[in-house]
């Protein structure tokens, strides 16, 4: 917690020093930091473009492989279970059944 307070006071000090500068000096500082800001924005854009390229290449292949291997087909009883899901209010909700077995303390091996 002490470090958080220390970092916060450092941040406040830097902010006070920057706001204490005249407007023309702040403008020059902004111009000096502009290339770095642009590089960060371009790297984020490049990451998003590579992610999009990855998805554009892999999703069609994944669907094709699912179709070829037959794992994309639904089981015959899957349609009846989908109608049961509507009873719970939304299609994403499903019924889960569980059995809890309580072991007496003497049988736990303690």
Residue 53 has pLDDT above 80, yes or no: yes
pLDDT at 37: 96
Tell me, what's the pLDDT at 85?
Answer: 45
Least confident of 11-25, 26-40, 69-83: 69-83
User: Is the pTM for the entire model greater than 0.85?
Assistant: no
CB-CB neighbours of 37 under 10 Å: 10
DSSP state of 107: G
CA distances from 15 to 18, 23, 30 (A): 5, 14, 14
Kindly give, in sequence order, each residue whose CB lies less than 8 Å from that of residue 98, ignoring residues fewer than 6 positions away.
none
Between CA 34 and CA 62 the distance in angstroms is: 42
pLDDT at 75: 52
CA distance linking residue 10 with residue 7, whole number of Å? 5
Between CA 110 and CA 103 the distance in angstroms is 12
State the pLDDT at residue 52: 96
Structure tokens at 6: 């220390």
């Amino acid at each position: 917690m002490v470090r958080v307070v220390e970092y916060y006071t450092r941040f406040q000090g830097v902010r006070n020093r920057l706001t204490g500068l005249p407007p023309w000096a702040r403008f020059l500082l902004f111009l000096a930091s502009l290339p770095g800001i642009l590089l960060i924005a371009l790297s984020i854009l490049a990451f998003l473009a590579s992610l999009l390229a990855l998805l554009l290449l892999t999703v069609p292949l994944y669907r094709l492989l699912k179709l070829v291997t037959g794992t994309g087909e639904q089981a015959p009883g899957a349609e009846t279970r989908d109608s049961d899901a509507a009873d719970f209010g939304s299609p994403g909700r499903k019924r889960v059944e569980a059995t809890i077995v309580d072991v007496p303390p003497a049988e736990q091996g303690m």
